[in-house]
């Protein structure tokens, strides 16, 4: 069982890395438009830690990221990310057990997160399916390459904060 100070340090590192990635999203990636869409890092920074930390820690972290995302981004659906990120994080944590945390699990969590977000958007906004699906797939494909650096960052934090942990998945 980690001490209280180690736990605080771990979540502080996760939070600071999420803040760094959020700044990159808001300052840099918002200005890059590829194939008519921008890369959307928020699901990655909310969901990838769940594959390392499990459903409870990952779900709470995803909830916090969802609240911040909903406060910073305009959306026609109130609390979309606050509701979807924790659900996707819990599913990601359970999928990470057989897959072992890493790039493949991060890619799967990104697909899962985008699928849930887009499903809720589609069902509530009643968009045209062809156009909506086209935009959703392009956004996912533009964002998937960013899974690699985000996963490497979170894996480094996990290894650093779980050095003496016997149940380490990596």
pLDDT at res. 1: 64
Per-residue DSSP letter, 82: H
pLDDT digits over 125-163, tens only?
Answer: 776 777 777 888 888 889 889 999 999 998 898 888 877
Supply 64's token pair: 């916090």
Question: Positive or negative CA dihedral for 6, 155, 17, 79?
Answer: negative
**Mean confidence (pLDDT) of the chain:** 85
pLDDT at res. 20: 93
Calpha distance 16→42 (Å, rounded): 14
pLDDT digits over 9-24, tens only?
Answer: 889 999 999 999 999 9
Domain parsing of the chain, residue ranges = 4-161
Q: Rounded to the nearest 5°, which phi and psi values hold at 37?
A: -135, 160
pTM of this structure: 0.86
- Asked if pLDDT for residue 168 goes beyond 60, the answer is no
Q: Which fold has domain 4-161?
A: Arp2/3 complex 21 kDa subunit ARPC3 (1.10.1760)
Q: Where are the beta strands (DSSP E) in the chain?
A: none
pLDDT digits over 62-101, tens only?
Answer: 999 999 999 988 888 889 999 999 999 999 888 877 777 6
Calpha distance 13→163 (Å, rounded): 15
Smallest CA-to-CA distance from 118 within 151, 150, 77 is with 77
Residue 100 contacts by C-beta under 8 Å, 6 or more apart in sequence? 169, 170
pLDDT digits over 96-117, tens only?
Answer: 777 776 788 888 888 989 999 8
Query: Percentage of residues in the chain with pLDDT exceeding 70?
Result: 93
Q: Exposed, middle or buried, 43 (CB in 10 Å: 0-12/13-18/19+)? A: buried
- Asked if pLDDT for residue 45 goes beyond 80, the answer is yes
- Asked if pLDDT for residue 164 goes beyond 80, the answer is no
The CA distances from residue 46 to 3, 50, 127, in Å, are 24, 8, 26
pLDDT at res. 161: 85
Helix (H, G, I), strand (E, B) or coil at 166: coil
Calpha distance 140→147 (Å, rounded): 11
């Amino acid at each position: 069982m980690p001490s209280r100070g180690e736990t605080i340090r771990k979540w502080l590192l996760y939070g600071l890395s999420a803040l760094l990635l959020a700044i990159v999203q808001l300052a840099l990636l918002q200005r890059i438009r590829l194939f008519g869409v921008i890369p959307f890092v928020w699901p990655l920074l909310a969901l990838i830690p769940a594959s390392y930390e499990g459903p409870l820690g990952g779900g709470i972290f995803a909830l916090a990221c969802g609240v911040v995302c909903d406060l910073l981004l305009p959306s026609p659906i109130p609390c979309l990310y606050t509701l979807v990120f924790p659900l996707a994080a819990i599913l990601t944590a359970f999928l990470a057990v057989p897959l072992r945390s890493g790039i493949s699990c991060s890619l799967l969590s990104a697909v899962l997160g985008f699928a849930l977000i887009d499903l809720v958007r589609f069902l509530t906004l009643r968009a045209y399916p062809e156009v909506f699906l086209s935009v959703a797939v392009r956004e996912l494909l533009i964002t998937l390459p960013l899974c690699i650096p985000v996963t490497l960052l979170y894996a480094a934090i996990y290894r650093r904060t779980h050095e003496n942990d016997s149940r380490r998945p990596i």
